[in-house]
Structure 1
């Protein structure tokens, strides 16, 4: 595979992820506003994805927001 083929494959993969976006995804701003609530629920052993499906959808799709969630959850549960 040459560089052009690799670039086309990468572009196709990005397009595929974009087209598969969950319509419930609330976006970064709303996810960040609710992140502390979702972390508290998860740390308490509850299922935040049932109460906040739009945030859960966003965290599955957005690497940076997912990283924030994981970091905050680790900080809370390591206390």
Structure 2
């Protein structure tokens, strides 16, 4: 039961600006290119993606992989 309470707490603390995995996956390449050039501009233009990446480990891993490829 403890895991379910933790999951509920996480859900209730979700930032309403979070756009969710589906939108992040669609826009991640755009966000990563922009972030590589200017991280502050990327955060300002796509705040929902920035918020999501701070709370979703799998999407953050994909983002970091893309940044690594771009920065090569």
TM-score range, shorter chain: 0.7 to 0.9
Asked if residue 68 in structure 1 is aligned to residue 51 in structure 2, the reply is no
- What is the correspondence of 1:4-15 to structure 2 with a 5 Å cutoff? 8=2, 10-15=3-8
Aligned partners of 1:42 and 1:24: how far apart in 2?
19
TM-score (norm: length of structure 1) = 0.78
CA-based RMSD: 1.4
1:37 aligned residue: 30
Q: 2:46 aligns with which of 49, 52, 72?
A: 52
Greater share of residues in helix: 2
Matched residue count: 71
TM-score (norm: length of structure 2) = 0.84
Give the CA deviation at 1:12.
3.1
For structure 2, the 5+ residue unaligned runs are none
Bigger Cα Rg? 1
Aligned partners of 2:4 and 2:39: how far apart in 1?
38
Give the CA deviation at 1:14.
2.3
